[in-house]
Amino acid sequence: MATTAPWTTEVPTALLVLADGTVIEGRGLGATGSAVAEVCFNTALTGYEEILTDPSYAGQIVTFTFPHIGNIGANDEDIEDLNPAARSGAVGAIFKADVTDPSSYRAKEHLDAWLKRRGIVALCGIDTRALTGLIREKGMPNAVIAHAPDGKFDVDDLKRQAAAWSGLVGLDLAKDVTSGQSSVWKETPWVWDEGYGEQQEPTMHVVAIDYGVKRNILRLLAGLGAKVTVVPANTGADEILAMKPDGIFLSNGPGDPAATGEYAVPVIQDILKTDIPVFGICLGHQMLALAVGGKTQKMHQGHHGANHPVKDHTTGKVEIVSMNHGFSVDSESLPDTVEETHVSLFDGSNCGIALTGRPVFSVQHHPEASPGPQDSHYLFRRFVNLIRAKRGEPALAERA
């Protein structure tokens, strides 16, 4: 039987309606209207702007377990999606506390105004611990998030929408967030009191296949000397190889990897017939696994946060990393020609692979995360060193 959650406000201006009929009442902020999506939780203490603009969150509503979100406002430097006009990040956000006025010298606007401009529906004033507990127990539910300043909702219709949505399984969202055309990326990482730089003298050429790429990935590649050509997710292998890349990057992105793999996997398989170094992150990791014969699976609650321990078997070291994925590679499905390089110490799930004897590897987590731990930045140098080795050049130190 449908229930109304006990954490309610006197005059609710926002609702979260779960597919099982549960109605959670809160105070609305951000964009008005409604959005249907999957609800997940993120455990990071900082970086809400980067989280909400990460294209990998397309089709999701993010519940922040940290109670105070919005205190530092918002600015145009901390977004992660390549195409802001496409609104390719999260469709909804859930906070515990009311959003306060910004308290940061970098703030350009209030989070509420930023959410409105981005078209993100949000609510606050609920027990996010209880909602997180529900997700941990029952898995990530489908839901509708709705915001109406007058407090008038057609609850029955919202329940029908939530129950009718098919969910992320079988859904290719990379096509919705990818670049519309090829472009060259030159921006390099942010430096205190200087901002972002620009790559002027590239020493190598990397083609990045954009399944929903994050800006800081491209910055780190450019910062290591790469001219980065970003191409749409459906770009063919012949077109990519005609660009004569020194390396090929498979980007992060949203949705069901098996669905995106229908057109992405054949391209990667053709690329793997060459000896060009390949590096994948998140969805790109899953695409690589599918291309070599592995399988992916939906996770119960996913991994979302900036405090996940991952072990790198190649070094024996444990890294604290950022993660954002609701699907994972089934390590048992990987062929003998693939080595498992990284594993989550939370649940033992696969977090990285490498092709035996080949300059090809990928990771499930986000080594570029900003803000977030920088423990895994070395992976970009590992990729660059594969390129340098192929050209007979000396390796960079993996850790700067």
Can you give the pLDDT at residue 373? Answer: 86
Q: Evaluate whether 214 touches 78 at the Cβ level (below 8 Å).
A: no
| 282 catalytically annotated | yes
Question: Who's near 37: CB < 8 A, 6+ residues apart?
Answer: 59, 60, 61, 90, 91, 92, 142, 143, 145, 165
> In CATH, what number does 174-390 get?
3.40.50.880
Can you give the pLDDT at residue 39? Answer: 98
Supply 293's token pair: 């014969």
Q: What confidence tens digit (pLDDT) does each residue in 214-228 have?
A: 999 999 999 999 999
Question: Which of 8-12, 45-49, 85-89 is modeled with the greatest confidence?
Answer: 45-49
What's the rounded mean pLDDT across residues 360-368? 97
Residue 385, pLDDT above cutoff 70:
yes
Can you give the pLDDT at residue 5? Answer: 44
What's the rounded mean pLDDT across residues 318-343? 97
| More confident: 192 or 288 | 288
Q: Are β-strands 121-124 and 23-30 bridged in parallel, bridged antiparallel, or unpaired? A: antiparallel
Can you give the pLDDT at residue 85? Answer: 65
What's the rounded mean pLDDT across residues 189-211? 95
Would you tell me how many other CB atoms lie within 10 Å of the CB of residue 37?
A: 24
What angle is formed at CA 207 by the lines to CA 202 and CA 210, rounded to 5 degrees?
A: 130
For the chain, what are the domain ranges? 14-164, 174-390
What's the rounded mean pLDDT across residues 311-328? 96
Give the three-class secondary structure for 266.
helix
Distance of CA 63 to the CA centre of its chain: 15
What's the rounded mean pLDDT across residues 45-54? 95
Can you give the pLDDT at residue 88? Answer: 80
| 339 catalytically annotated | no
What's the rounded mean pLDDT across residues 36-44? 97
Residue whose entry in the numeric block shows the structure tokens 């070599």: 292
Dist CA 17 CA 13 (whole Å) = 13
Residue 311, pLDDT above cutoff 70:
yes
Dist CA 70 CA 63 (whole Å) = 13
> In CATH, what number does 14-164 get?
3.50.30.20
Q: Evaluate whether 111 touches 80 at the Cβ level (below 8 Å).
A: no
What's the rounded mean pLDDT across residues 141-168? 98
Can you give the pLDDT at residue 1? Answer: 32
Distances (CA, A) of 3 to 7, 21, 44: 12, 7, 30
Can you give the pLDDT at residue 110? Answer: 97
Can you give the pLDDT at residue 3? Answer: 43
Dist CA 348 CA 351 (whole Å) = 9
What's the rounded mean pLDDT across residues 152-171? 98
Residue from 282, 308, 319, 351 carrying the catalytic annotation: 282
Mean pLDDT taken over the chain: 95
Residue 369, pLDDT above cutoff 70:
yes
pLDDT category at 7 given cuts 50, 70, 90 is very low
Dist CA 196 CA 187 (whole Å) = 6
Can you give the pLDDT at residue 87? Answer: 66
Alpha-carbon torsion angle 251, 41, 177, 210, nearest 10: 0
Can you give the pLDDT at residue 6? Answer: 41
Can you give the pLDDT at residue 400? Answer: 66
What's the rounded mean pLDDT across residues 72-101? 90
Considering only CA atoms, which of 232, 200, 199 is closest in space to residue 213? Answer: 232
pLDDT category at 8 given cuts 50, 70, 90 is very low
Dist CA 301 CA 295 (whole Å) = 19
What's the rounded mean pLDDT across residues 236-256? 98
Percent of the chain at pLDDT > 90 equals 93
Can you give the pLDDT at residue 114? Answer: 97
What's the rounded mean pLDDT across residues 4-15? 67
Q: Are β-strands 121-124 and 92-94 bridged in parallel, bridged antiparallel, or unpaired? A: parallel
Q: Lowest-confidence range among 129-138, 187-196, 201-210, 339-348?
A: 187-196
Q: Lowest-confidence range among 32-41, 82-91, 237-246?
A: 82-91
Q: Evaluate whether 284 touches 211 at the Cβ level (below 8 Å).
A: yes
Q: What are phi and psi of 358, to 5 degrees?
A: -125, 150
Whole-model pTM: value is: 0.96
